[in-house]
Amino acid sequence: MHAANILKVALALGQLVSAQDAECPEVPETGIEIGEPVPMNPGDIPPGCSDFEVLVARGTSEPNFADGGKFGVIVGDPVVSNLTEVLPGSRGYPVQYPASSSVIIGGIRGRRDVVNRIVSQAEACPGQTFALVGYSQGATIMHRAADDIPEALYDRIVALAMFGDPYLRYSSGNDFPAPLQEKLLQNCAEGDATCDQGSCVFWHLTYVRPAWIDRTVDFLAAAFQGNPLPPSTTIGLPGAPQATALP
């Protein structure tokens, strides 16, 4: 499933990628009750081993609107679907947490799930490498999980990609352990109230745009293949991301 196809889903649901010239476009009604948990489906957990696995922690109440979606319509579904098309042997793992407004309970569950998944897969699949992708609340899950991942497994984690990371707004996003921090791509749209300054919610919903997805897929593919990584952070104008460096 291409990002363009998922983009059509987002357009149909609320035209979330339109009106980019407005200072803060109104968020259209989508029928999604923000704060409600997302049902977890154990059947979405991939069995066995693969060469490359992307652990995806979705944003709050981010649904699976796309056909066959398992990871979240704004970030996870387009990232995984595009990566698997360009990189044979890659797959996604949907972090098993409710992504609801109960951030404390959900955060504990999500953090443990990420750590348990990496530890168990690393033992069962000696050749498997991993990437961590988090969107919004999912980014905080990855920050917290990183502190609990055994240091001996850091080399197995080849890349991290965050979208709308709340840690960027309050601590510059420099909260991952140093060996992981150097493998990090930060995606933050200018004006996104979660990771940048201001109070506009609209831009927080625009990471489904191909400009964001394509850069991230290129970053992950390069990391999995052992190639030099593109710039470490992406903070840009709405719809037109540009590479900058973290302070």
Helix (H) or strand (E) holding 14: helix 3-14
Q: Which residues contact 23 (CB under 8 A, 6 or more apart)?
A: 200
Is residue 62 included in any domain, yes or no?
Answer: yes
- Please give the model's pTM, rounded to 2 decimal places: 0.84
Which pLDDT does position 17 carry in this prediction? 44
Mean pLDDT for 22-44 is 70
Strand duo 243-244 + 233-236: pairing? antiparallel
Is residue 238 included in any domain, yes or no?
Answer: yes
Let me know: does 148 contact 115? Beta carbons within 8 Å.
yes
Is residue 36 included in any domain, yes or no?
Answer: no
Give the chain's domain count: 1
Specify the DSSP class assigned to residue 85. H
pLDDT 10s digits, 39-85: 778 889 999 999 999 999 999 878 887 677 899 989 999 999 999 99
Q: Within its chain, how far is the Cα of 228 from the centroid?
A: 21
Is residue 203 included in any domain, yes or no?
Answer: yes
Measured at the CA of 51, the angle between CA 49 and CA 54, to 5 degrees, comes to: 90
For 110: left if phi > 0, alpha if psi spans -120 to 50, otherwise beta; the answer is: alpha
How far is residue 93's CA from residue 27's CA, in Å, rounded to a whole number? 29
Would you place residue 242 in the very low, low, confident or very high pLDDT band (cuts 50, 70, 90)?
A: very low
Does residue 26 have a pLDDT over 90? no
Provide the mean pLDDT of the chain. Answer: 81
Residue whose C-alpha is closest to residue 80's, from 243, 230, 221, 242: 221
Is residue 106 included in any domain, yes or no?
Answer: yes
pLDDT 10s digits, 151-174: 999 999 999 999 999 988 877 666
How far is residue 72's CA from residue 80's CA, in Å, rounded to a whole number? 10
Residue whose C-alpha is closest to residue 175's, from 188, 191, 186: 186
Share of the chain above pLDDT 70, in %: 74
* Percent helix, strand and coil across the chain, each to the nearest 5: 40, 15, 45
| Domain containing residue 182 | 3-15+48-244
Is residue 27 included in any domain, yes or no?
Answer: no
Does residue 131 have a pLDDT over 80? yes
Can you give the C-alpha Rg of the chain in angstroms? Answer: 16
Is residue 65 included in any domain, yes or no?
Answer: yes
- CATH number, position 112: 3.40.50.1820
Is residue 225 included in any domain, yes or no?
Answer: yes
Mean pLDDT for 76-96 is 96
CB atoms under 10 Å from CB of 8, counted, come to 12
Mean pLDDT for 2-14 is 45
How far is residue 127's CA from residue 124's CA, in Å, rounded to a whole number? 9
Which pLDDT does position 52 carry in this prediction? 98
